[in-house]
Chain A
Amino acid sequence: MATNIILIILVTSFATYISRFLGAFTSEKIVETSKIYKWFNCVAYSTLAALISRMLIFPSGDLSDVNYILRITVILLSILIFYVTKRNLVYPTVLSAIILATLNSFAV
């Protein structure tokens, strides 16, 4: 099992480094003012947004055990807290964890 875990870690890290390496390699000829750079920048932000919303809407791991109504409540509350606190990132983040842990402990 131990060798298996090491092998799995190596495969995971290799699968991760490929994208980073290819990114560094491809970008060698790309100038930050070019159109292709702008396109990549848009795709980077979109992919991130797609990943984050997927993590919240179709979560994996422990978060998938939480009722979706609870998750949506926490998401909406966090956005509200973010705006109420003048776009502060710490308050919604910390409060989201506390609110979710508390609400979930009451949920059946």
Chain B
Amino acid sequence: MINPKYFLKGVLCSRKFDSPAIALGASFIAIGALLKNLGFTIQESIFSTFLTYALPGSLVMAESMLIGASLINIFLAVWLVNSRLYPMTVSIMPLLKHESQPRWKYYLSCHFVAVSSWLILKSNYEEIEKNYRIDFWIGIGTATWLIAIFSTVLGYYAADFLNKDMIIGLTIVNPIYFMCAMIGVMKTIQLSSAILLGAILGPIFYFISPEWSVLIGGVVAGTVAYLIGEKYGN
């Protein structure tokens, strides 16, 4: 089954001082408060984070509900904003693959792919032997997922005590954390151009199509960055 030693190592990774868990916690507190204001019960709020566990998707769901969008529209809007999870999953699974491990672990643990867990794995996987990396990943995923659920509960109950300025403060924590984390990983020409071009093209494509901007901006920027990296070295 799951090797407890590596699972625990993964869990403990989210406890580091500068762990993405801080950004994750703050943003899900804001989500908890948002869901309460939308009329969700505590059970529904927990259920939402438990099953979705992706911040932009939950935000899009909330906004779509506010404007009374249809289920099909909610589906499409969430799918588009969360489609970033596809290349993110492809870019970590080969690092975790080992023939001694059963396939169900990969299909179950792909639910844990989110920015925070992804970044924790990317900066720690090399220290772990390849045959146990999937257990390590399940540990990271479980810890970050539980932090998100716990923070949703906290936000739900704190909603009455948080004023608008405090909620606004909490909502900027997430993009600021990940913006700094992205600047921090700009160590090769390929990655630096991928991040810079993505950050520029995402908002530019927003003028053409707000829904498709992240996906199109990401694919165009990623492809150009890949070619730059191939030409000028990594």
Contacts and interface: CB of A to CB of B under 8 A. Distances in A.
Contacts of A47: 83-84, 87-88, 198, 214-215, 217-219, 222
A35 to B, nearest CB: 8
Given A27-B94, A37-B91, A92 B225 contact: no
Given A27-B89, A30-B90, A54-B214, A16 B178 contact: no
Interface residues of A, number: 80
Nearest to B177: A93
A11 B179 contact: no
Given A43-B218, A61-B171, A89-B180, A52 B59 contact: no
Contacts, number: 317
Given A47-B218, A62-B164, A62-B167, A19 B83 contact: yes
Interface string A80-99: 00100001111011101110
Interface residues of B, number: 105
A79 B199 CA distance: 14
Contact of B203 (A30, A40, A54, A88): A54
6 contacts: A11-B74, A12-B61, A15-B75, A43-B91, A48-B88, A58-B206
Interface string A1-42: 110011111111111111111111111101110010111111
Interface of B: 17-18, 20, 22-23, 26, 30, 34, 39-41, 44, 47-48, 51-54, 56-63, 65, 71, 74-76, 78-79, 81-91, 93-95, 97, 106-107, 110-111, 113, 115, 164-185, 190-191, 194-203, 205-206, 210, 213-215, 217-223, 225-226, 229-230
Contacts of A9: 44, 47-48, 51-52, 61
A21 B39 CA distance: 30
Contact of A60 (B59, B205, B223): B59
A42 B190 contact: yes
A83 B199 CA distance: 19
A50 B214 contact: yes
Contacts of B191: 42, 45
Contact of A43 (B18, B115, B166, B222): B222
Best-surrounded residue of A37, A38, A49, A54 (most CB of chain B within 10 A): A49
Contacts of B61: 8-9, 12
B196 to A, nearest CB: 7
Contacts of B76: 15
B202 A49 contact: yes
Contacts of B202: 49-51, 53-54
Given A43-B223, A61-B62, A90-B18, A50 B217 contact: yes
A20 B194 contact: no
Given A54-B202, A97-B169, A12 B52 contact: yes
Interface in A94-108: 94, 96-98, 100-102, 104-105
A86 B183 CA distance: 12
A98 B169 contact: yes
